[in-house]
Amino acid sequence: MKIHHLRNATCIIESGQHHILVDPMLGPKSTLPPFSYLKHRAQRNPLVNLPPNADELLAKVTLCLLTHSQKWGIDPLTHTDHLDPAGASFLKERGIPVICPANDSRFLKRKGMDVVLGLEKWNPTPLEDTGGSRLPIGTITAVPARHGHSWTRHLMANGCGFYLELDGSPSVYITGDTVYTQDVEQALTRLQPDIAIAACGSAALDIGGSILMPMEEIITFIQKAPGMVVANHMDALNHCSTTRPILKEALETYDLSSKVMIPNDGETLRF
């Protein structure tokens, strides 16, 4: 298995002939507004462009997983750091099959996307080859995600993470945008993923508390994880306070560096 990290939460999981795109934010630098104006410097997002190898990797995509995208079907409440206009256009123009939480399915279909599965939480679902054979290639399970601890979570697009078991490959848990919860801990301790891809940017809006795991929860997550952790959702959005250097320093403090991979944009991890 290979994990190609593109930017923020956008990556491609490669397993055999399958290339699974996760949360495509594909637009150029500065094409989205700031997500914070007071707590953080009001820079337009994304803060960086996609890496030079992005087009080559995206050309191979066979399936897309969307952890979350909308709230109440209201366009201004869509989470464009996981599905921006460029990402939506890519999926529609290429006819890429999409898997998402059940509560996002209708919204995404209305936007013209080919939603093949809308997953209910904690319901293991067979995953089929999208290349035409329809042969089973593994199992996918949606894990509940909570986009914050404070009252603002009720305004957020609370989607899911995904536990992915592909035939012949290590199991992968993608947290999606979440703080540390009993569901997250259950995914780590009961499902025992070989690899956990965790959103570690510690994002916060101008109102309310953290909408992603703060550092103390990131450390707990890593300590509880049974296998390797791949840290993402950093250095691409203006409302994320945990950067790669900050995370590396914390990992050294807690003697966890050997358990965590922090890929650069465009980097490929091999398992």
* Relative orientation angle of helices 182-189 and 215-224, to the nearest 10 degrees: 30
Quick check: 200 and 247 in contact, CB under 8 A? yes
Which residue type does 178 have? T
What is the per-residue pLDDT for 157? 57
User: In this structure, what are the phi and psi dihedrals at residue 92, rounded to the nearest 5 degrees?
Assistant: -70, -45
Tell me the C-alpha distance between 244 and 166, whole Å. Answer: 29
Tell me the C-alpha distance between 49 and 154, whole Å. Answer: 31
For 8, residues 6+ apart whose C-beta sits below 8 A from its C-beta are: 23, 25, 46, 81, 201, 232, 233, 234, 236, 237
Ordered structural domains, the chain, with CATH: 2-262 (3.60.15.10)
Burial class (CB in 10 A: 0-12, 13-18, 19+), 204: buried
Cα dihedral 256/215/144/211 (nearest 10): -160
Is the Cα torsion angle 78, 81, 85, 87 positive or negative in sign?
negative
Predicted confidence (pLDDT) at residue 38 exceeds the cutoff of 90: no
Q: Closest Cα partner for 166 from 204, 206, 208, 128?
A: 128
Quick check: 61 and 77 in contact, CB under 8 A? no
Tell me the C-alpha distance between 183 and 143, whole Å. Answer: 7
Predicted confidence (pLDDT) at residue 15 exceeds the cutoff of 90: yes
Which helix (H) or strand (E) covers residue 222, if one does?
A: helix 215-224
Predicted confidence (pLDDT) at residue 129 exceeds the cutoff of 90: no
User: In this structure, what are the phi and psi dihedrals at residue 67, rounded to the nearest 5 degrees?
Assistant: -75, -35
Burial class (CB in 10 A: 0-12, 13-18, 19+), 42: middle
- Token representation of residue 141: 């399970």
**Average pLDDT of the residues in 17-25:** 97
What is the per-residue pLDDT for 1? 97
The pLDDT confidence band at residue 153, using thresholds 50, 70 and 90, is: low
Average pLDDT, the chain: 92
What is the per-residue pLDDT for 35? 84
Greater confidence (91 vs 149) lies with 91
Percentage above 70 pLDDT, the chain: 92
Is the Cα torsion angle 193, 125, 19, 263 positive or negative in sign?
negative
Between 76-85, 93-102, 250-259, the lowest mean confidence (pLDDT) is in 76-85
46-74 confidence digits (pLDDT tens):
999 999 999 999 999 999 999 987 555 55
| Contacts of the segment 155-158: beta carbons below 8 A, 24+ positions apart | 155/71, 155/77, 156/71, 156/79, 156/211, 157/68, 157/69, 157/70, 157/71, 157/77, 157/78, 157/79, 157/104, 158/68
Quick check: 187 and 163 in contact, CB under 8 A? yes
